[in-house]
């Protein structure tokens, strides 16, 4: 078995500047410590899955990435540079990161097509025609070309989440953040969302995924980070985490989920 150093050496694009780097990140809500001290990196083209029990800090860490949550300590680098402090700077960074939420958060007053075009139209000032063209192509990609003129209320959960992915992709982001994208879905629609994510990974998209879908993490993730009570208990290649976990806490967590390798 390789050493930790060798594992890190072997990661995808390990020689390049990481897309996202968390350096001793600390996050508190008043007295409550949500994240103690977390250090991790996400290389270009990698799929990094954050797993762990509820309330262990993985979603919170994801939300610090695009400054939906402020950090109280440590340093967060995006493309080698610290997150800017100004509102305008944060907006610039957010344009380059896509985010998919647990509850989809599609805009109910806009059609599927408008949901996808509103970002490029409003923020990137892309022309109506160009934005529509791109949106239609993205809808085709997530298998919903026939739903362009429907409203979100007329779509199933799985379809809504696929539209949400298309909406994020419309900004042509450099990294995609997924916050438990299948946790609010009916079991029979989870697969269609995971398939879209898997294809995205195969195309080389850099992805950070908070998930409880262990099968997905095992198959698709390049790197898995295991959280417990605001800290990382273990991180490593998916094969190691799932087939040969080093930390007692990881073994406990996986066995609670019924994971048997």
Partner 1 sequence: MDFDFSAVLDSWQYLAGGLGLTILLSLLTVILSLIFGIAVALGRMYGPRWLSVPLVFYIDSMRAVPVLVVLIWIYFALPIVTGISLPPFWAALVALTFHICAYVAEIVRAGISSVRAGQTQAGLVLGMSEAQVMRKIILPQALIRMLPSLGSIVSITIKDTAIAAVIAVPELMKRTETVSGQSFRPMEAFTVAMVVYFLILFPATRAIDLIYKNIAYRGRS
How would you class 202 by CB atoms within 10 Å of its CB: exposed for 0-12, middle for 13-18, buried for 19 or more? exposed
Within residues 152-171, the interface with partner 1 by CB under 8 A covers 153, 167-168, 171
- 10 is an interface residue for partner 1 by CB under 8 A: no
For strand 73-78 and strand 47-51, is the pairing parallel, antiparallel, or unpaired?
unpaired
In Å, how far are 7, 22, 73, 101, 256 from 178, measured between CA atoms?
Answer: 24, 17, 23, 6, 23
Which member of 106, 155, 163, 220 binds partner 1 (CB under 8 A)?
A: 106
Q: Residue 54 CB, nearest distance to partner 1 (Å)?
A: 18
Which member of 18, 52, 57, 98 binds partner 1 (CB under 8 A)?
A: 98
Q: Residue 22 pairs with which residues in a beta bridge?
A: 40, 76
Going by the DSSP 8-state scheme, the letter that residue 18 receives in this structure is P
Q: Which is nearer to partner 1, 142 or 175 (CB)?
A: 175
In Å, how far are 67, 86, 108, 131, 175 from 89, measured between CA atoms?
Answer: 11, 5, 28, 24, 17
- 66 is an interface residue for partner 1 by CB under 8 A: yes
Alpha-helix residue ranges (DSSP H) falling in 15-70? 58-65
- 207 is an interface residue for partner 1 by CB under 8 A: no
How many residues line the site for partner 1 (CB under 8 A)?
27
Q: Residue 208 CB, nearest distance to partner 1 (Å)?
A: 13
List residues binding partner 1 (CB under 8 A).
Answer: 66, 68, 87, 91-92, 94-95, 97-99, 101, 103, 105-109, 118-119, 122-124, 151, 153, 167-168, 171
């Amino acid at each position: 078995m390789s050493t930790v150093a060798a594992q890190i050496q072997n990661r995808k694009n390990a020689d390049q500047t990481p897309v996202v780097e968390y350096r001793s990140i600390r996050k508190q809500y008043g007295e409550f410590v949500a994240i103690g001290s977390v250090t991790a990196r996400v290389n270009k083209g990698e799929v990094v899955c954050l797993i762990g029990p509820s309330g262990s800090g993985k979603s919170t860490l994801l939300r610090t990435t695009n400054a939906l949550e402020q950090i109280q300590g440590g340093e967060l680098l995006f493309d080698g540079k610290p997150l800017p402090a100004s509102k305008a700077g944060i907006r610039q960074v957010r344009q380059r990161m896509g985010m998919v939420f647990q509850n989809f958060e599609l805009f109910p007053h806009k059609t599927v097509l408008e949901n996808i075009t509103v970002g490029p139209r409003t923020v990137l000032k892309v022309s109506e025609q160009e934005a529509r063209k791109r949106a239609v192509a993205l809808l085709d990609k997530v298998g919903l070309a026939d739903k362009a003129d429907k409203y979100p209320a007329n779509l199933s959960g799985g379809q809504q989440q696929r539209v949400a992915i298309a909406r994020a992709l419309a900004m042509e982001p450099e990294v995609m953040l997924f916050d438990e994208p299948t946790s609010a879905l009916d079991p029979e629609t989870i697969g269609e969302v995971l398939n879209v994510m898997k294809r995205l990974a195969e195309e080389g998209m850099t992805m950070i995924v908070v998930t409880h879908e262990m099968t997905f993490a095992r198959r698709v993730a390049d790197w898995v980070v295991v959280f417990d009570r605001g800290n990382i208990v273990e991180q490593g290649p998916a094969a190691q985490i799932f087939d040969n976990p080093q930390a007692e806490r990881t073994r406990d967590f996986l066995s609670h989920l019924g994971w048997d390798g």
